[in-house]
Amino acid sequence: MKLRSISFHLLSVLLGTSFGDAYTTVGIIRTANHIVIGADSKAVEDKTRGAPHFPSTTCKIHESNGIYFASVGLIIDPKFNADLIVATVLKRKGTMEQRVAALAAEASNPFLAAMQRMHKFLPDLYRKEVGSAPFSVGFAGIERGIPRAIILYFSIKNDFRGRPEAVSTTTVQCPGNGCDRLRPGSPFFLVGYYEAAAKATQAKGFFSGDDANDVRRMIQIEIDDQPLAVGPPIDVLFIDGTGGRWIAPLGSCGPPHKIKN
């Protein structure tokens, strides 16, 4: 497992750790007419003594104000809930890009505080697991009839003692700077565990034209490669001008999950 990003036929980022995290693989395929987002649903068990018990699977794709999103990485601690912050910001008016920019600005300080708490209380885990981009969010939606995908990365800068001291953000989107020039109008994104899937997509004929099935296959490859962190069932959501619909076989999600305040 590596913490870095790559950009070629496939844009990918690997994220994942403990302390209220989302070990996961999220895949997005965007075309001129629709967008597909999929995710595994494995909930990694925290075996720390006294830790609360959680279900073994969970829906990782949520919806707020018509925008679908999935968070990856260090997304929650007792004072920080990434999904709640994302859902709250998305409820505002503005373009998708404007709301994501607002999220980048408003979530940076709370996320830095969460990283500082992790470093203080779990320093060994912080040193072992936290890389350059420990938290990101993938967004998918239709805006003014145009499918749009945005990936927002939060990166941590440490001081000379290895303590988190600053957060920076990077945005990749399509339409925009994330559109794959090798496949105009139809870029592929993976967020989370990605290495095995990224390698597989380089094979000639990997992409079948059935975007929902191709997203499912990419996630299944990571399930096979990282079974302790990524697991079934797989949720795949197809989004076009009529809205979003789940593609069978269904996973852990029903109607897109709204985050409650």
Beta bridge partners of 174: 149
Retrieve residue 107's tokens.
């979530």
Dist. CA 261–CA 247, nearest whole Å: 28
- pLDDT of 62-106, one tens digit each? 999 999 999 887 667 778 888 899 999 999 999 999 999 999 999
Residue 261: inside a domain, yes or no? no
Cβ atoms of 70 and 39 closer than 8 Å: yes
Residues 6+ apart with CB under 8 A from 160: none
Asked whether the predicted pLDDT for residue 233 surpasses 90, the reply is yes
Q: Comparing C-alpha atoms, which of 148, 139, 143 is closest to residue 30?
A: 148
The verdict on residue 94 lying in a domain is yes
**Following CA atoms 214, 219, 221, 222 in sequence, which dihedral angle do they give, to the nearest 10 degrees?**
160
| CA-closest candidate to residue 4, choices 223, 190, 219 | 190
Could you tell me the two tokens for 11? 């844009």
Please determine, for residue 260, whether its predicted confidence score (pLDDT) is greater than 80: no
Tell me which of 68 and 184 has the higher pLDDT: 68
Domain CATH code at residue 131: 3.60.20.10
Q: Residue 203: pLDDT above 80?
A: yes
Q: pLDDT tens, 120-155? A: 888 887 887 676 557 889 999 999 999 999 999 998
CA separation for the pair 229, 24 (Å, rounded): 7
Any domain includes 173: yes
* Residue 32, domain member (yes or no): yes
Of the candidates 129, 47, 30, 118, the residue with the CA atom closest to the CA atom of residue 80: 118
**Assigned domain for 183 exists:** yes
Q: What DSSP string describes 226-253?
A: -TTTS-SPPEEEEEETTEEEEPSSP-S-
Q: Give pLDDT tens digits for 16-45.
A: 333 345 568 899 999 999 999 999 998 765
pLDDT of residue 258: 57
- Residue 260 belongs to some domain of the structure: no
Counting the structural domains of the chain, the total is 1
- Considering only residues 48 and 234, tell me which one the structure prediction assigns the higher pLDDT: 234
Domain housing 124 = 5-47+54-254
Residue with tokens 């967008």: 35
Mean pLDDT across 161-188:
81
**191 confidence band (pLDDT: 50, 70, 90):** confident
Q: Which two tokens stand for residue 104?
A: 């980048």
Provide the pairing of β-strand 257-258 with 62-64: parallel
Q: What mean pLDDT value characterizes the chain?
A: 81
Distances (CA, A) of 70 to 53, 118, 135, 220: 22, 22, 11, 17
pLDDT value of residue 257: 59
pLDDT at 1 exceeding the cut of 60: no
Beta carbons within 10 angstroms of residue 59's beta carbon: 16
Q: What is the mean pLDDT of residues 242-247?
A: 92
How far apart are the C-alpha atoms of 60 and 38, rounded to whole Å? 9
CB 237 within 8 A of CB 38: yes
| Nearest Cα residue to 164 out of 118, 218, 217, 129 | 118
pLDDT at 78: 76
DSSP assigned state of 46: -
The pTM assigned to this predicted structure is 0.84
Token pair for 198: 């990224």
